[in-house]
Amino acid sequence: MGKRRKPSPPSRARLAVLTTAVAGGAVLASGTAHAEPAPTLASVKEQVDRLNEEAEQAIERFNGFQEKQQKLQGEANRIQEKVARGQEAMNELRTQLGVVGAEQYRNNGIDPGIQLMLDSDPASYLGRASVQDQVAGSWTDLLKRAQDEQRKLDQERTEAAATLADLDAVGASLNAQKNQIQSKLAQSEALLNKLSAEERAKINAQEAADKAKAAAQQAAAAERAKAAEKEAADKAKAAAGKETAGKGGTPAPQTPAASTPAPAASTPAPPAAGGRAAAIVQFAYAQLGKPYGWSRTGPSSFDCSGLTGAAYRAADVSLPRTSQEQWKVGTRIGRGDLQPGDLVFFYPDLHHVGVYIGDGKMIHAPRTGKNIEVLPIGVMPYMGAVRP
């Protein structure tokens, strides 16, 4: 076989061509990477809304873990106090056992039969023997009590260890949720910081327009419902008049149709004093303009479930800490039967809640960077209502 020829090294000209091609590709790739279009205001708003919603979900989970942590801490403290009291009782029993044991050793060191034979006063010995029997009985009772106390103490220590382990696990979950919340809020803030003041103003204006549109839609729906209700009442009244005329009676005089009612005010007035619902709604009105604060329950700032819980406390009603748990309290109310003071819930996982104030509106704590406000319930995905 002939020897293989080694490939000849590329010429300088060929190397120059290859180098130019690679460099050109790198330039093209670099140019492509920098050619990404700037995000639109709509896409930034969508991302910010999504991040804030995810943050609120994490906040409600944080609130739940925090409430559980507080309960577990109270339980752990209670059990540890029981353990301390049990240990004191055991120490006292051990002291008593030592005293009785020493006495029994002193008195029972010699066989009772030999003691009787050697004793110069058998009657005196028999008296002492009776006392010794009593001492033996006390020893048995003390020993049984000590065994029972030790078993109880061991059980309480096991219970305390399990509770403390649960407390550590909840604490870890709490920190994880806190980190997630802070990460979501930081991402949202970073996106907003990339916008100019003018662009931020446009986003705020869009939010205001969305709220106004939802309010107008709700007002129109309410007017249609009132018109339908009036039409039904008029038909029923006309039918009743015809029935009366057919029987020879005089039909009641027809009153002129009422004029179309004036549109409701943009924000319903708080109800007059009196009753539980009034206390709830009046408290909610008093918080308008205060800042949202995640995991806060007042008095200077609130998150959504913190606000509803505080409003109900003003009416001497205790609610669970999270929106999901508040959903489980009380009677479910249809949308058409809403009354001021009812709790209204949003999103499929029920992570947002507000206080209904009438006219299709609620007072709620929206999200970080916003203040407590009045908002139409149609702005967010409405899931239902509860009357605790």
User: For the chain, how far is it from start to end, CA to CA, in angstroms?
Assistant: 97
The residue to which tokens 């662009």 are assigned = 199
220 is catalytic: no
| Beta-carbon count within 10 A of 307 CB | 26
DSSP string, 133-190: HHHHHHHHHHHHHHHHHHHHHHHHHHHHHHHHHHHHHHHHHHHHHHHHHHHHHHHHHH
Given a contact cutoff of 8 angstroms between Cβ atoms, the answer to whether 380 and 326 are in contact is: no
Given a contact cutoff of 8 angstroms between Cβ atoms, the answer to whether 87 and 146 are in contact is: no
Q: Which string of b and e fits 11-44 if b means at least 16 CB within 10 Å?
A: eeeeeeeeeeeeeeeeeeeeeeeeeeeeeeeeeb
Question: d(Cα 342, Cα 330) in Å, to the nearest integer?
Answer: 10
164 is catalytic: no
351 is catalytic: no
Closest CA to 372 of 388, 353, 386, 350: 353
Catalytic residue among 184, 351, 352, 367: 352
Catalytic residue among 364, 365, 367, 377: 364
Question: d(Cα 283, Cα 326) in Å, to the nearest integer?
Answer: 18
Cα dihedral 297, 299, 303, 304 in deg (nearest 10): 90
| Beta-carbon count within 10 A of 334 CB | 8
Q: Which residues are catalytic?
A: 304, 352, 364
